[in-house]
A = this chain, B = another copy of it.
Amino acid sequence: MKINPLVAKLSHFAVLSAEEIALLESLCVNEESFPAHVDIVTEGQVPRSPFVLTDGLACRYRVLRDGRRQILTFLVPGDTSNLHGFLIQAMDHSIATLMPTRIAMVQWEIVMGITTGYPRLGGALWWSALQEEAIMRERIVSIGRRSARGRIAYLLCEFVWRQRAVGLSNDDEIRLPLTQTELGDAAGLTSVAVNRALQDFRRNGWIKFSRGRLTLLATEKLLDIAQFSQRYLHLDGAPTPIRRYFDQLDRAGGA
């Protein structure tokens, strides 16, 4: 039986109670399947209900007037979206699948209920939002200041670390069915530049990347080129005093 990726992700924040785990798992029952390369949500529309991506891969993106696309972030299993979308009138970006993907719809009243009734889970959701913000900040740094090779190395590292964090990998190999054009759309590069960076990495024997599978063969080298630090993912979770605070609330509420 596969570990629920949302539980895996939020467990990095703090040790969850059995009740909390059960609640998170119950969020993921109402699944819906999407084929590859279709919009889940489209810019300008009313946000669809909150959801958890349970399997597959998706991306947030925007398209410019001239048709060029910028991928903003990737959604991997365990990632949530639109949790608070009900607070805004219209989406400012689109979300599309990149491979066959399953998402579980959640009613926003339930999200509100978690916020008010389950302090530690509410904290975990905020923590998850902080992580997503940090991922975007790192992307800004990457696109703004790094070379093509640095940007690609950084993207590859991020995928490996994020997939590990939700239990989808135990080593340096992951599933990554992205085209070079898609990588370029995420890195602010053309597919030609992506190709040349990947060729370079391959010829140096630092990666293996074909048929939708990526293997880091020289992790240290890639970390160095990317200037990647996993700190921004905040996988060490909440500080001890905060964990204790939530534990106390547990005892108070559960008594």
Contact = CB atoms under 8 A, between A and B. Distances in A.
A140 B74 CA distance: 13
Q: What size tier do the contact residues of chain A reach?
A: 35 or more
A146 B116 CA distance: 42
Interface string A113-147: 00110010011001101101110111111011110
Contact of A136 (B87, B133, B227): B133
Interface of A: 13, 44, 46, 60, 62, 64-65, 68, 70, 72-73, 84, 86-90, 92-93, 112, 115-116, 119, 122-123, 126-127, 129-130, 132-134, 136-141, 143-146, 187-188, 227, 231-232, 234, 236-239, 242
Question: Which of A87, A93, A112 neighbours the largest number of chain B CB atoms within 10 Å of its CB?
Answer: A87
Number of copies: 2
A62 B133 contact: no
Contacts of A116: 115-116, 119
Contacts of A60: 137
9 contacts: A44-B231, A46-B239, A62-B141, A84-B129, A89-B238, A92-B137, A115-B115, A139-B140, A143-B144
Contacts of A126: 84, 87
B84 A127 contact: yes
B115 A188 contact: no
B188 A143 contact: yes
A133 B133 contact: yes
A191 to B, nearest CB: 14
